[in-house]
Chains A and B, each alone.
Chain A
Amino acid sequence: DGGITQSPKYLFRKEGQNVTLSCEQNLNHDAMYWYRQDPGQGLRLIYYSQIVNDFQKGDIAEGYSVSREKKESFPLTVTSAQKNPTAFYLCASTPGTGRWKLFFGSGTQLSVL
């Protein structure tokens, strides 16, 4: 079955540590997105990529980094510069841009030890 796979489901970060969240899709979608969700709040866009080897900052990119070396993969690194990383992270993809529904992964819950 085609879909988006996020791993791990739960992740714990120590102070000063970088952690990487994995997002893989086998839908052959061009565009991929990372959203952050805090309890009781909406989804905020961190980064998005419309094509391989290209990505743009979203509204809250500070403290995060991404890469898009392959079409099917869009990993997100939460760096030590992100002082409040505890949140639910969602990866999504679309076939192209505009008028396409988002296909979401099942999410990664990141917590700070």
Chain B
Amino acid sequence: QQPVQSPQAVILREGEDAVINCSSSKALYSVHWYRQKHGEAPVFLMILLKGGEQKGHEKISASFNEKKQQSSLYLTASQLSYSGTYFCGTEPTGNTGKLIFGQGTTLQVKP
């Protein structure tokens, strides 16, 4: 039931791009993306609802393919502040209000 994220870890240089994927075995109502710094609470990035929409937040955007039950997070021209662990949270169809998180993708941006 837990969504699967890939890759598990990414190391980038400043200015490089990255893609983080999130796949679920269940039909999804929504996908959430959060970023967490060590020892802190996760910070909300965006929500995508079924309908294949794509949303953006500064230089971070995401897409949601409901047929494939997949979402991808795109980070362009990465900055040092983008370092952290990225989690997708999925809500199965039926609006259960129950968000299930993936295992996380650790992103490290180096100067």
Contacts and interface: CB of A to CB of B under 8 A. Distances in A.
Contacts of B29: 98-99
Contacts, number: 63
Interface string A92-104: 0010111111101
Interface residues of B, number: 26
B1 interface: yes
A96 B95 CA distance: 11
Contacts of B102: 42
A98 B29 CA distance: 8
Contacts of A106: 40-41
Contact of A59 (B42, B95, B100, B104): B100
Contacts of A35: 101
A56 B98 CA distance: 10
B65 interface: no
B105 to A, nearest CB: 10
A90 B30 contact: no
Given A41-B103, A56-B98, A107-B39, 11 more contacts: A31-B97, A43-B101, A45-B100, A59-B1, A97-B95, A98-B96, A101-B44, A102-B32, A102-B44, A102-B89, A107-B41
